[in-house]
């Protein structure tokens, strides 16, 4: 099925007003702390929060720097704990504790100090959670663990909330296995360990869906802005109405910091946008920030399967809206929305992602980790047109 902009009206609602407002440049002037000046966002309020002592486990990867930047803007006192090997030039004035969480004694640096909030960024190894809990025991006001919606074992029903069925957890006493098959089970065990170490009276568990935006080295969203910017006929998956969910790294990171400011406890599915969105709205919304002549040809999930085109990896931000994955992109996040998770326009996310992507080394741009290869895309489109008699 091929559609053009004139035949697709709903996309304008998703991006309305965003272009006219403009998108902040990523090269804004930074302060001496390496922090961009704070931008007022009326949906989150501008009240000066009470300064918090925040410890971030990580802080230099994908979502960590966004948390650090926002927390410093809000006047909080930060400490970072990591190996000291990634993006060491970031935030030179922020104190750092050094430790390798794979080392049995890797959390030793955490045995001193008291914090109002600890943010444990995407940790998959449950032993890391145990190690942090044992080292920080009795000196933390709130512990926030960044989990994932991949903890769920059944996505066949739309609208699943935080009480959905979980994977059988891995055994923490067994050797840690990074195989993708154990990603969800390891996160389930990590959540259990967080509860055991810190207690529900101090615990916040955030379960994001697909996190997108500048700094995402997985290319699971950036494939689309980059491919659309190149123009031409583009292979689009499924039907225009297939649902999609994603959350901008800035929105997620800022909300995580505000969870500390508001002492928000509990477990939250955390993805967006707030209103139900489909793949066509997303693709046309991305196109709106380019001058591309891109045109989308939607190819049914069954045909993509027969052509061995993989959902999620080769067709990012998409799973077939049927059978076992019917509800994968329709997770209920109303609890997080009610607790203050907000969303910027898709135009902002698409533009900032594309601008950032173009600053990456050429070698990285040429070896994207997600998205269908150009030759394969052409072959699948030719096969689909032949089948359709075009």
* Structure-token pair, residue 38: 């704070």
C-alpha 146/C-alpha 255 separation (Å) is: 12
**pTM of this structure:** 0.88
Chain segment 96-137, per-residue pLDDT in tens: 999 999 999 999 999 999 999 999 997 899 999 999 999 999
Tell me the mean pLDDT in the region 339-354. Answer: 97
The residue extents of the domains of the chain are: 2-388
Output the CA angle 380-370-246, nearest 5 degrees.
110
Contacts (Cβ under 8 Å, ≥6 apart) of 365:
226, 357, 358
Strand 2-3's sheet: what is its strand order? 2-3, 295-299, 233-237
Instruction: Give residue 5's pLDDT.
Output: 38
Chain segment 208-222, per-residue pLDDT in tens: 999 999 999 999 999
- Above pLDDT 90, what percent of the chain? 80
Chain segment 38-70, per-residue pLDDT in tens: 443 444 555 678 999 999 999 888 999 999 999
- Above pLDDT 70, what percent of the chain? 88
Instruction: Give residue 45's pLDDT.
Output: 53
Chain segment 300-329, per-residue pLDDT in tens: 999 999 999 999 999 999 999 999 999 999
**Alpha-helical runs (H) found in the chain:** 11-15, 18-21, 64-73, 126-136, 183-198, 223-230, 249-261, 279-287, 301-306, 334-338, 346-357, 362-366, 374-388
Instruction: Give residue 108's pLDDT.
Output: 97
Q: How far is CA 172 from the centre of its chain?
A: 26
Query: Residue 1: is its pLDDT beyond 70?
Result: no
Instruction: Give residue 77's pLDDT.
Output: 97
* Structure-token pair, residue 226: 């980059």
User: Which helix H or strand E contains 319, and what residues bound it?
Assistant: none
Chain segment 154-184, per-residue pLDDT in tens: 999 999 999 999 999 999 999 999 899 999 9
Query: Residue 359: is its pLDDT beyond 70?
Result: yes
pLDDT band at 30 (very low <50, low <70, confident <90, very high): very low
pLDDT band at 31 (very low <50, low <70, confident <90, very high): very low
Strand 243-248 relative to strand 272-278: parallel, antiparallel, unpaired?
Answer: antiparallel
Contacts (Cβ under 8 Å, ≥6 apart) of 275:
none
The mean pLDDT value of the chain amounts to 89
pLDDT band at 34 (very low <50, low <70, confident <90, very high): very low
What is the architecture, at CATH level 2, of domain 2-388?
A: 3-Layer(aba) Sandwich (3.40)
Of 33-47, 268-282, 354-368, the one with minimum mean pLDDT is 33-47
Q: How far is CA 194 from the centre of its chain?
A: 21
Number of H helices, E strands in the chain: 13, 13
Query: Residue 388: is its pLDDT beyond 90?
Result: no
Output the CA angle 145-147-148, nearest 5 degrees.
160
C-alpha 143/C-alpha 265 separation (Å) is: 9
């Amino acid at each position: 099925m091929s559609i053009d902009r004139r035949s697709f009206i709903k996309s304008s609602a998703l991006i309305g007003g965003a272009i006219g407002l403009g998108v902040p440049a990523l090269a804004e002037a930074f302060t001496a702390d390496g922090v961009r000046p704070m931008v007022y966002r009326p949906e989150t309020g501008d009240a000066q929060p009470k300064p918090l002592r925040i410890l971030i486990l990580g802080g230099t990867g994908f979502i960590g720097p966004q948390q650090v930047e926002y927390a410093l803007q809000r006047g909080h006192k930060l400490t970072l704990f990591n190996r000291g090997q990634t993006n060491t030039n970031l935030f030179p004035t922020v104190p750092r504790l050094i430790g390798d969480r794979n080392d049995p004694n890797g959390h030793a640096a955490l045995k001193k100090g008291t914090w109002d909030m600890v943010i444990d960024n995407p940790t998959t190894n449950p032993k890391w959670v145990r190690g942090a809990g044992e080292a920080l025991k009795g000196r933390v006001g709130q512990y926030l663990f960044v989990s994932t919606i991949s903890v769920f074992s059944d996505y066949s029903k739309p609208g699943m909330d935080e009480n959905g069925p979980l994977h059988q957890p891995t055994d923490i006493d067994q050797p840690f296995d990074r195989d993708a098959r154990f990603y969800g089970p390891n996160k389930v065990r990590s959540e259990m360990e967080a509860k055991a170490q810190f207690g529900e009276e101090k615990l916040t568990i955030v379960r994001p869906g697909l996190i997108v935006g500048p700094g995402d080295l997985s290319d699971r969203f950036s494939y689309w802005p980059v491919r659309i910017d190149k123009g031409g006929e583009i292979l689009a998956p499924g039907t225009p109405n297939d649902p999609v969910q994603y959350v901008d790294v800035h929105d997620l990171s800022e909300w995580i910091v505000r969870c500390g400011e508001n002492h928000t406890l509990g477990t939250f599915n955390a993805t967006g946008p707030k209103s139900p969105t489909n793949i066509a709205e997303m693709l046309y919304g991305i196109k709106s920030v380019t001058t591309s002549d891109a045109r989308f040809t939607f190819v049914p999930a069954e045909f993509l399967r027969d052509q061995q085109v993989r959902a999620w990896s080769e067709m990012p931000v998409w799973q077939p809206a049927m059978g076992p994955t019917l509800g994968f992109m329709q997770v209920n996040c109303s609890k997080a929305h009610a607790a203050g998770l907000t969303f910027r326009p898709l135009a902002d996310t698409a533009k900032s992602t594309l601008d950032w992507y173009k600053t990456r080394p050429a070698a990285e741009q040429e070896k994207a980790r997600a998205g269908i290869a150009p030759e394969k895309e052409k072959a699948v489109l030719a096969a689909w047109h032949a089948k359709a008699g075009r």
